[in-house]
Amino acid sequence: MQKIAVIGTGYVGLVSGTCFAEIGNRIICCDVDEVKINSLKRGVVPIYEPGLKELIDKNTAAGRLLFSSNVGEAIEASDIIYIAVGTPMSDTGEADMRYVKDVAKKIGEHLNGYKVIVNKSTVPVGTGELVRQIISNHRKYPTVHFDVVSNPEFLREGSAISDCMNMDRAVIGSTSDKAAKLIAELHAPFGTSIFQTDLESAEMIKYAANAFLATKISFINAIANICERVGADVTRVSEGMGLDSRIGGKFLQAGIGYGGSCFPKDTFALAHIADQSGYDFELLKAVIRTNDQQRLLVTDKLKQAIGSADGKRIAVLGLAFKPNTDDMRYAPSLSIIPELVELGASVRAFDPIAVESAKPLLPEEVQYFNTIEETLEGCDACIILTEWPEIVSMDLLKAKRLMKETVLIDGRNCIPQQSIQQHGFTYHSIGRRPVNVVGSGLHTANF
């Protein structure tokens, strides 16, 4: 059993700390936000992640998982210190490192024996050395030794518990074999592959992996836009591409682009790192532009289907950037809904989880409803932005009866076209032929 302090109780820190407790370690999850810590002590989890609350309750009851706002005390009581604070995107696109620096200073001030300091936050290349310098400069006892490790996270929101407990690999970067071995042993119960490398390479792996996945998404979305123009079906194209073992089918689902806490800020950060190093990363910049432009297709398709949106009642199904999370960071809804309001539409919105997270971020004119049926009532069109299971499986016959006009814009290609045609909807998706559109010639779906 290791004594571990996880500093930062955001998404990464809370999930990682809880999973480390689940495999038998003593974890103190700490944060300077006393309100958040007090809520966690009462069993109130500040984020939505399937299975997380149950796992927190289990491990707090077992005494393996503790919460504290006394960061210094947690550092002194632990042998391994995980830095899991946020690194949000700054105005220049680079990662904002103020919280990482603050934690490193705090660690130095409370370093009372040998400890391994682990960067779990997504940080620019060179942060490991920066953390080492800050800790060294603030040590009370200069003779006390420590090591720094980079152990980036690869968690997907909505399946983070499974990703952590069944991780593909653990990347461990360090200049110390002793520290790297300790962190490798910590991961042994997960039964994962260990990839050991130097600090800088480990830091780059995280950015490179996310940038590559973002590239696959923007690539297939660009292909989808061509498919629409030539009469091809991007779902079939993706399937055929994915059968090539060199390519694979993951992250080849066309839609309105990526969002969330990782891909947007990490692609910008890597582009900034490249610029600072003297390399113009044109490919990555094109990926970012493509993603920004992709979400605008929804309103273009809406105008094509109904003409002016002024005075029209539009249902928006799904607000979070993906299913099984309440995360609104860079969600397409944050761009699309304000544009609909600007066009004069009356927007009625539904999301099973993210409404309270969305309300402060969206125009006050937006109306929110508890069910899909309430949202659709009397609407001139419906736009799907998040493929929640209840949205994918909604009763199309009931939806048709409720809506004033049966226009459906599917930004996630999640509704089967066969069902759409059977129920008589006018249907537009991404990279596929529209359905039941009079006069669309080649681009009308035929079954």
Q: What is the pLDDT of residues 182-238, one digit of tens each?
A: 999 999 999 999 999 999 999 999 999 999 999 999 999 999 999 999 999 999 999
Helix (H, G, I), strand (E, B), or coil: what is residue 52? helix
CA distance 347 to 334: 13
Report the pLDDT value the prediction gives residue 91, as an integer from 0 to 100: 84
| Residue 440: band (very low, low, confident or very high) from pLDDT cuts 50, 70, 90 | very low
255 known ligand binder: yes
Contact 127, 119 (CB under 8 A): yes
285 known ligand binder: no
Which pLDDT tens digit goes with each residue over 33-83? 999 999 999 999 998 999 999 999 999 999 999 999 999 999 999 999 999
154 known ligand binder: yes
Report the pLDDT value the prediction gives residue 382, as an integer from 0 to 100: 98
Q: Which segments of the chain belong to CATH 1.10.1040.10?
A: 206-293
- Is 164 noted as a catalytic residue in this protein? no
Query: Which residue's structure tokens are 């996270």?
Result: 153
CA distance 415 to 387: 9
Strand (E) or helix (H) holding 117 = strand 115-119
Average pLDDT of 12-18? 96
127 known ligand binder: no
94 known ligand binder: no
CA distance 427 to 406: 8
Report the pLDDT value the prediction gives residue 404, as an integer from 0 to 100: 96
425 known ligand binder: no
**pTM recorded for the entire structure:** 0.91
36 known ligand binder: yes
Tally of residues, the chain: 447
Report the pLDDT value the prediction gives residue 422, as an integer from 0 to 100: 86
Q: For residue 95, what is the DSSP state? A: B
Share of the chain above pLDDT 90, in %: 90
1 has pLDDT over 90: no
252 known ligand binder: yes
443 has pLDDT over 80: no
- What CATH architecture applies to the domain 206-293? Orthogonal Bundle (1.10)
66 known ligand binder: no
Q: For residue 81, what is the DSSP state? A: E
Can you say how many angstroms the Cα of residue 22 is from the centroid of all Cα atoms in its chain? 23
Query: What is the CATH code for 3-197?
Result: 3.40.50.720
Which pLDDT tens digit goes with each residue over 363-412? 999 999 999 999 999 999 999 999 999 999 999 999 999 999 999 999 99
The string over 222-231, giving b where at least 16 C-beta atoms fall within 10 Å of a residue's C-beta and e elsewhere, is: bbbbebbeee
408 known ligand binder: no
Q: Which segments of the chain belong to CATH 3.40.50.720?
A: 3-197, 295-443
Kindly give, in sequence order, each residue whose CB lies less than 8 Å from that of residue 12, ignoring residues fewer than 6 positions away.
84, 120, 121, 153, 155
The string over 263-282, giving b where at least 16 C-beta atoms fall within 10 Å of a residue's C-beta and e elsewhere, is: bbbbbbbbbbbbeeeeeebe
What are residue 426's DSSP bridge partners? 407
Tokens of 227: 């498919």
CA distance readout (Å), 441 to 115, 315, 434, 436, 438: 69, 28, 10, 11, 8
Which pLDDT tens digit goes with each residue over 284-308? 999 999 999 999 999 999 999 999 9
How many alpha carbons lie under 13 Å from residue 183 in its C-beta half-sphere?
30
Catalytic residue (choose from 262, 379, 382, 414): 262
CA distance 219 to 378: 37
| Residue 92: band (very low, low, confident or very high) from pLDDT cuts 50, 70, 90 | confident
Fold of 295-443: Rossmann fold (3.40.50)
Average pLDDT of 406-433? 93
